[in-house]
Structure 1
Amino acid sequence: MINPLNVQLYSVRDPLSADRDGTLRRIAGIGYRAVEPFDPMNDPKGMRELCDDLGLAIPSTHAYALLGEETGPVFEAIATLGAELAIIPGGIPHEEFTGRDGLLRTSERLLALAEQGREHGVRIGYHNHWWEIEPVIDGQHALELLAPEIFLEVDTYWAYVGGADVPALLRRLGDRVLALHVKDGPGVKDQPHTAVGSGVVPVPEILSAKPGALRIVELDSCDGDIFDALEASHAYLSALEVR
């Protein structure tokens, strides 16, 4: 396996809030070896120490808070976690992705954050949903038109829902893609996700298109027990890796 299978902790936000230590132990017990926090400001020192104890790496974190006015404390928290990649997972108006002017403004905003990030040893990336995929401008999905200096964490499920040929999109984006959110489900916007491998998304073809990227399982919502779904996802993805 090129990279350890990873879990975006938003998937387990409710049990995490109730029992952080127990939740992370369950994730490690399933066999995951990395996690991606969704709020670096939530006790980064304690999170790092616990993950170190459990053998869980933290290569990346989402960081909505970087869109606020005070970025210094956020970068300090990211450094405490030990993450080298900080990802903006939304928080920018959907309308900014419907035309070139909005995309230019968004690119400039992300590039300014990237300049700050370099001073802290952190790379800035962007994570898509469907609204950065649905608009097609001169034959390209809006996501493709963001500044190429910004790396991408492609949410493969939302790219699929947004109408992309996801393997082809990943091949076009090339080295810009450092991470993939791997999820599955019915392929529509307002229904719960399923364990990876049990929905309509062509997961093997997607992963083959970008074999070196971080593989981060995320289930925004899930019918049934989330830990069962994470375990089934881990089993499916691990089996794919050995073929």
Structure 2
Amino acid sequence: MIDPRILVLIPARMAATRLPGKPLADIAGLPMIVHVLRRAEAAGIGRVAVATDTPEIASVVTAHGGEAVMTSPTHPSGSDRIHEAMQKLDPDGKAEIVVNLQGDFPTITIDNIREVLPPLQDPAVDIATLASQIHTEEEDLAPSVVKAIGTSLGGKRMRALYFTRATAPTGDGPRYHHIGLYAYRRAALERYVSLPPSPLELQEKLEQLRALEAGMRIDFTIVDTVPRGVDTPADLETARSILSKS
């Protein structure tokens, strides 16, 4: 039974700088955006739609039985795009939670999608996300790997204190790789997109810092696997290799 209180929105656009046209890149016989759509639908947590500014993407999604919503081509971020999509798909405000699932996560697991929701059972939490423990020096040192720094709340849940591209925190102990899957309370998304970019957001080039600087609470769940994002031709080949075997 699909929960009408949850919207799962997948922002997708063609104008990616490093890999133009990537939502429609073929992976094991299907466009990448369709792989993400299928996994979101299989998670069964809510109504799923692709939010795009490109008619070609919308046509591919609908041709594969999915729902697409057209949004403005001028949005500066995926968060702004899903906010417009939410307003169009749910003008009456029935959806209480909006999940932002990136359209370049073709290897994300169904479990990962489901695991983003539990922190929102706590009414004090505005935004929920995921992270996975770092186990290699390469991951530890790479600025492309965003580190989630938090305080443990017991079990696999942590309250986020900061996000950074630096290797942090220093010293002995675990470090965590942030996974860019978010679940927003509707009011939190509304507030987030109304705020101007914050100083730390601009310095680190990390949108989630806008929410922290505004005093919003982000909790994250520790999961076992990191979905491979597709940003480069090499990433695309890795995704093709993984999904051709599944």
Higher relative contact order (CA 8 A, sep 6+): 2
TM-score strictly above 0.5? no
Larger helix percent: 1
Query: Normalising by the residue count of structure 1, what TM-score does the alignment of the two structures yield?
Result: 0.32
- TM-score relative to the length of structure 2: 0.31
